[in-house]
Amino acid sequence: MLLHVTAVFSGVAALVWGADRFVDGAAALARRLGISTIIIGLTVVSFGTSLPELLVSLTATVMGHPDVAVGNVVGSNIANIGLILGVASLFRPLMVHGSVVRREYPLLIGASVIAWLMARNGTFSRFEGFLLATGLVLFVTKMVVEAKQTAPDVLLQEAATSVSTRQQVPTLGKSMFFLVSGLVALTVGSRLLVWGGVALARGFGVSELVIGLTMVALGTSLPELATSVVGAIKKQDDIAVGNVVGSNLFNTLAILGIPAMVRPLTVSTEAYYRDFPVMLLATLVLWPVCRSWSGRQGRVNRLEGGALTLGYFVYVGFLLRFRG
């Protein structure tokens, strides 16, 4: 049992370290190749915070644990809203940029509903996975085009702050070392987390789905938690809120889509009727929380943040209570 617990914590540590190294290396390499800062910020950095979820879900799929893969995505989306956005707003009330509510949020609602409908027959087929992944490609393309049209503007400034602020770009060799070492750490960490999590689930009589929804989801969401809390403390509200919306959109489209293309993902009855609706409810709650009804800029205050956090812990408590 101690070995399994050690594997889980080691896996989480490797995922966090690997994601940081990978993003640094990819951003430095892109800058060495002359790719613009705005594109790096919207693609490499955004992709980097969701790499742990992607690697864990891919690993769980290949190892034959679809409940862990699906639970990781659904649980991460619930944790991003209930725990991460809630905790971040407890540090300081978060102002919400209107474009997030008008543009990215409706896309997240649409993607969440489509994923839920796809899961109705109990599986994500390879074709459905391809459709989800294609949606991500279209979204990233749209964001890059809009960024180029509006730069230099707020998007450019946000992307610039998301990339390493070092004056000197690392050498090509150092960039490649960061890239490769980060990818290795992510791969090893994902395998440790899945292996240890599944073993603990069996040892405690908890289903693999619940482990995916709780322990694995929390472990892979640490980069988003760190980004949002730091964004709140540094008064970068759009980074804190936008990170949650963007990460959930990426999770739904890519981290369900890509593993499903590798091997069709089985969706349990519990996941479809219990956890997907909770994910949809949490996503819908963002509308009244983030929207400004007075015509001013939207805001997530501490009371709302506390309610989101409490709601998340009630949900997790319910899962652990019934272990199903």
Question: Using alpha carbons only, how large is the chain's radius of gyration in Å?
Answer: 19
Residue 37's pLDDT band, with cuts at 50, 70 and 90, is: low
Q: Which helix (H) or strand (E) holds 266?
A: strand 265-266
Question: What's the mean per-residue pLDDT of the chain?
Answer: 79
Percentage with pLDDT > 70 across the chain: 75
pLDDT, one tens digit per residue, over 75-97 is 999 998 998 888 888 888 877 76
pLDDT, one tens digit per residue, over 238-291 is 556 766 787 888 889 999 999 999 999 999 999 999 999 999 999 998 887 776
User: CA–CA separation, 6 vs 87, rounded Å?
Assistant: 27
pLDDT, one tens digit per residue, over 4-22 is 888 888 888 887 787 778 7
Q: Assess contact for 94 and 232: CB atoms under 8 A.
A: yes
Residues forming beta bridges with residue 300, ordered by sequence position: 94
pLDDT score of 48 more than 80? no
State the pTM of this model: 0.79
Give the per-residue pLDDT at 258.
93
Please, where are the H alpha helices in the chain? 2-32, 37-39, 46-49, 51-62, 66-79, 86-91, 98-99, 105-118, 126-150, 154-162, 172-204, 208-211, 217-220, 222-233, 237-250, 256-262, 269-270, 276-290, 302-322
Please, where are the H alpha helices in 33-125? 37-39, 46-49, 51-62, 66-79, 86-91, 98-99, 105-118
pLDDT, one tens digit per residue, over 168-191 is 667 778 878 887 888 788 778 877
pLDDT score of 40 more than 70? no
Nearest-CA neighbor of 156 among 39, 19, 34, 35? 39
Place of tokens 């001013």: 296
| Helix (H/G/I), strand (E/B), else coil: 105 | helix
- Of 1.20.1420.30, 3.40.50.300, 3.40.1000.10, 3.40.50.10490, which CATH number belongs to 46-58+66-163+205-322? 1.20.1420.30
Give the per-residue pLDDT at 256.
93
User: CA–CA separation, 200 vs 9, rounded Å?
Assistant: 12
